[in-house]
Amino acid sequence: MSRFPRLRSWSAILLLIAGCSLIRAQWAPLVRDANAESRIAWWRQARFGMFIHWGLYSIPGRGEWVMWNEQIPVNQYARLADQFHPDHFDPNAWAALAKQGGMKYMVLTARHHDGFALFNDPESTFTSVKSAAHRDIVADYVKAVRAAGLGVGLYYSPLDWRFPGYFFPSVYQQSAEEMRAQYQRQIHELASNYGKIDILWFDGGGNEWLGFGGIEFHGKWMGRPADQPYHDKFDWRDDETVGDLRKLQPGIIVDDRTDAPADFRIREGEDALGSFENRFPWELCMTIVDGAWGYDPRSKVRPLDELIHALVGAAGRDGNFLLNVGPTPDGEIPAEEAARIREIGQWLSVNGESIYGTRGGPWLPASYGVSTHNGKFVYVHTLKLANDATVTLPALGVKITGASILSGAAVPAAVPVDQNQREVVFHLPPAAVNPIDTVIKVELATPWTTAAVVPVP
């Protein structure tokens, strides 16, 4: 977070906030209740999900932050609701595509920072039900995803750009409290009226985000240190709201973007893959395009190898992968994005056993790639191969009884293995080398334990 100079006007302050980067810290404590591990077990096994950013911001087609980035007045932006005609919105098609892509759960933006809700809120006029669509998008989505046998996830942002109390909660305390009341009411609505919800993916919440991370007045305007949350007259009372959510949805899992105890942590963006971490659940989320999360026709779909490497890289570091699509204003997932998702699904149809139900390791990520394991099977994802098509790794201390190329073939190609007390050398058949990811399936004499890891020089 950059430091703020002394400012002389409210407009200058707001423009400065608009230009600063936001804190995306992981601040919530992790849950410690007796059911925490069993509650999230299905999610850790699933490994791969679909993120969907869709709302009024899809209409101008310049990303989900268009209202803020272009400083569109609240009343002017609200008129987009009169243009919201998602005539091709088909949640069953969305769910079918997710399944074709090998995804096991879905997360839809029930309400983003612009404040527009894709569900019914009797106390708000800014919803899809009261827009030109006259439709409860969340209700239709939940029904379709559940029917497809996928995990049902909803994204919700307590942050709402329409409330000045978000930016200056101490000065506009009443506005901040009205925003909090909306947050509490809408989470209760989502938890009460849509059946079982598996994931609540919070964003924009917590005291770190108040004021956009931002600025405070102590005799003069100054930047709040990046490692310090807002602490003054207002509080989100996340424990109350998330506590109500958990009471109504006992099996739900939530992320760490409120101040309430969380089930899993978030790493956001293509540069956030980070290091190996098996002490707690975490998820990498990124866009399928090289641009915004919301619809923007100028964005280009990322290459298949980049997306496979992100998925494999997350699994090999013991994390999940949530891949985002941005449907068009009328509700269709762009054809190029859908095609890429199906390509990932084709790859998983062959290599899925090296992702689903696995844990990261035993070999830590290094220049060779990553590894995953499930019981007595270890999967070595060789993302960078030397010219001689050999992979040398440190010894495991467990005898390797065999190795082959994971290819879906009835008789997989065998991989000769040399092993001693110091190292293991895999000799890959040159014809079996895959330019995206050559997966070696390694069988051990005894199962590997989840916690143990082996550093790779």
Domains of the chain from N-terminus onward = 10-354 (3.20.20.80), 359-444 (2.60.40.1180)
Q: Is the pLDDT of residue 4 over 60?
A: no
- As a whole number of angstroms, the distance between CA 371 and CA 116 comes to 42
What burial letters (b/e) apply to 280-290, b meaning 16+ CB within 10 Å? bbbbbbbbbbe
Identify the band that residue 26 occupies on the pLDDT scale cut at 50, 70 and 90: low
Tens of pLDDT, residues 197-253: 999 999 999 988 888 777 777 778 778 887 788 888 999 999 999 999 999 999 999
Place of tokens 């509490």: 184
pTM: 0.94
- What pLDDT is recorded for position 283? 98
Each as own residue / partner, the long-range contacts of residues 429-435 (CB below 8 Å, 24 or more positions apart, any chain) are 429/389, 429/405, 430/389, 432/405, 432/407, 433/385, 433/389, 435/305
pLDDT category of residue 386 using cuts at 50, 70 and 90: low
For residue 94, give the H/E element and its range.
helix 91-100
pLDDT of residue 212: 77
Give the Cα separation of 254 and 256 in Å (integer). Answer: 7
Q: Alpha helix locations (H) across 249-380?
A: 304-316, 335-351
> What size, in residues, is the chain?
457
